């Protein structure tokens, strides 16, 4: 893709996110540029061998089936993250390259995402990363830098880490986003929001294997080799 094509594709991405509000789209692009300058390290890739040697890299998964309205479903199993095995910087890098790859698909740009953040298995070891600074970075980059449309956010299983995250996050998020956040004590409650055919088997759904190492490796490699809009879709 030539330079003009890359720029055009990137602009469309932000325009779709902001319902073709040019001023808001331009501001979000400026925010992304600023983020890349201040937090350049989180836009780097991780060593490829991590995907086969560190189970912690499997903490985030893109489910193979969409919701009926076309949303992509993403599951993060935070308890899989061993903080002694995978650094916090690499944890953040995985989030970034996963989403940058997903944004190459126009269906994701238009229909957006639904999240299931599974807090089972989290412990006091994760608490030191639940700082206001870390959560603000996540919130600011997700809503004001990266052009995602977030339809629903489901927080699953009560834990000390979830309590800490929500205590801080509720002070940051807008009322609009708060209305899209749902806290569940059991996976059965997810059935009111998702078809079973689209959910993992461990949540009472029909999908046995939710993690795709092949996708993760490709997204990680593409993060180094291409710009946000410089590669053909393969998701």
Summarised one tens digit per residue, pLDDT across range 20-63 is: 999 999 999 999 999 999 999 999 999 999 999 999 999 999 99
Write down the pLDDT at residue 230: 46
Write down the pLDDT at residue 2: 47
Q: Compute the distance between CA of residue 111 and CA of residue 207 in angstroms, rounded to an integer.
A: 22
Summarised one tens digit per residue, pLDDT across range 61-89 is: 999 999 989 999 999 999 999 999 999 99
Write down the pLDDT at residue 226: 56
Q: Compute the distance between CA of residue 101 and CA of residue 85 in angstroms, rounded to an integer.
A: 24
- Cα dihedral value 223, 224, 225, 230, nearest 10: 40
Kind and range of the H or E run holding 36: helix 22-38
Write down the pLDDT at residue 6: 61
State whether residue 146 is helix, strand or coil.
coil
Kind and range of the H or E run holding 78: none
Write down the pLDDT at residue 234: 46
Give buried/exposed letters for 133-166 (b at 16+ CB in 10 A, else e): ebbebebebebbbbbbeebbbbbbbebebbebbb
% helix / strand / coil in the chain, to the nearest 5?
Answer: 55, 10, 35
Q: 100 with 109: CB under 8 angstroms?
A: no
**Closest by CA position to 118, among listed 153, 77, 83:** 77
Checking if the pLDDT of 4 tops 80, the result is no
Residues 6+ apart with CB under 8 A from 223: 43, 44, 45, 96, 97, 100, 101
What average pLDDT does the chain have? 90
Checking if the pLDDT of 235 tops 70, the result is no
| Tokens (6 digits) for 19 | 């319902």
Q: Compute the distance between CA of residue 228 and CA of residue 163 in angstroms, rounded to an integer.
A: 34
Span 220-235, mean pLDDT? Answer: 61
* HSE-up (13 A, CA, CB side) for residue 107: 12
Choice among 169-173, 186-190, 199-203 with the minimum mean pLDDT: 169-173
Span 161-179, mean pLDDT? Answer: 91
Checking if the pLDDT of 219 tops 70, the result is yes
Write down the pLDDT at residue 227: 53
Share of the chain above pLDDT 90, in %: 73
Span 196-207, mean pLDDT? Answer: 95
Q: Which residue has the higher pLDDT, 156 or 158?
A: 156
pLDDT band per the 50, 70, 90 thresholds, residue 12? confident
Kind and range of the H or E run holding 147: none
Write down the pLDDT at residue 48: 95
């Amino acid at each position: 893709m030539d330079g003009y094509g890359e720029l055009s594709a990137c602009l469309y991405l932000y325009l779709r996110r902001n319902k073709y509000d040019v001023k808001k789209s331009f501001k979000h692009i400026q925010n992304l540029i600023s983020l890349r300058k201040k937090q350049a390290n989180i836009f780097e890739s991780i060593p490829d061998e991590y995907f086969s040697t560190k189970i912690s890299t499997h903490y985030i998964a893109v489910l193979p089936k969409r919701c009926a309205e076309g949303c992509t479903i993403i599951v993060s199993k935070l308890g899989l993250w061993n903080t002694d095995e995978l650094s916090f910087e690499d944890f953040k890098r995985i989030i970034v390259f996963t989403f940058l790859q997903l944004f190459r698909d126009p269906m994701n740009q238009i229909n957006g995402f639904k999240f299931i953040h599974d807090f089972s298995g989290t412990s006091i070891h994760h608490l030191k990363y639940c700082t206001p600074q870390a959560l603000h970075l996540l919130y600011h980059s997700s809503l004001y830098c990266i052009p995602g449309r977030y339809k629903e956010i489901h927080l699953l299983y009560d834990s000390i880490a979830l309590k800490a995250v929500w205590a801080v996050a509720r002070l940051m998020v807008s009322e609009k986003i708060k209305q899209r956040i749902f806290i569940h004590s059991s996976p059965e409650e997810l059935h009111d929001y998702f078809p079973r055919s689209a959910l993992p088997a461990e949540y009472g759904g029909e999908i046995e294997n939710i993690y795709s190492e092949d996708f993760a490796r490709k997204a990680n490699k593409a993060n180094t080799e291409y710009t946000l809009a410089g590669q053909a879709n393969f998701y």
